[in-house]
Amino acid sequence: MAKKSAEEITARAAFGAAKEAAERALDDALLSEEERATRDAEEAEVKSRRRKRRLALIVVGVLIVLGVIGLVLRYWYWFLLLGVVGLLALYGRHRFRKWRGARKEGKAVIETTGTEAPPSVRVEEPAPAPRTPPRRLPAPEPGPSIEDELAELKARVKK
């Protein structure tokens, strides 16, 4: 589908260029020298205006960029403060969403009474997990002590 639209756009552009070339050739054949000269002057004026407009936009863009850089250099500590406040806001948002998610995990139970009163909603908290005693590591097996190993190493060095 995208390829068809790209081909269609290419065909329209080619058709427009061919149409403009045909009109120009027809005008060159039918117009007098004076009319051609006025047409060329008008086209040159339009091109000149476009070039001047682009140049003005580039100059304004450069001035805006330099102004922003100047502001950042002059008030860098305010921008730093703004960044710190932004990071704190992101952290607060993360904590709030975590808190809200934990709150939503509790199941909402609708309690009804025998009367015509509207039902009340109660949030049940999940039961806490039972505490398990900490596991104890098995006692280390009796093996050669550090002194015995040191004596063996000294005996090897003497040999």
Q: Helix 76-105 vs helix 33-74: angle between axes, to the nearest 10 degrees?
A: 80
- pLDDT one-digit tens code per residue, 32-84: 888 888 888 998 999 999 999 999 999 999 999 999 999 889 998 999 999 99
Q: What is the pTM of this model?
A: 0.38
pLDDT tens-place string over residues 88-147? 999 999 999 888 887 777 644 444 445 555 556 566 677 777 888 778 877 767 776 788
The three-state secondary structure class of 120 is: strand
Sign of CA dihedral 70, 73, 76, 79: positive
Which H or E element spans position 76?
helix 76-105
Residue pair 133/120 in contact (Cβ under 8 Å)? The answer is no
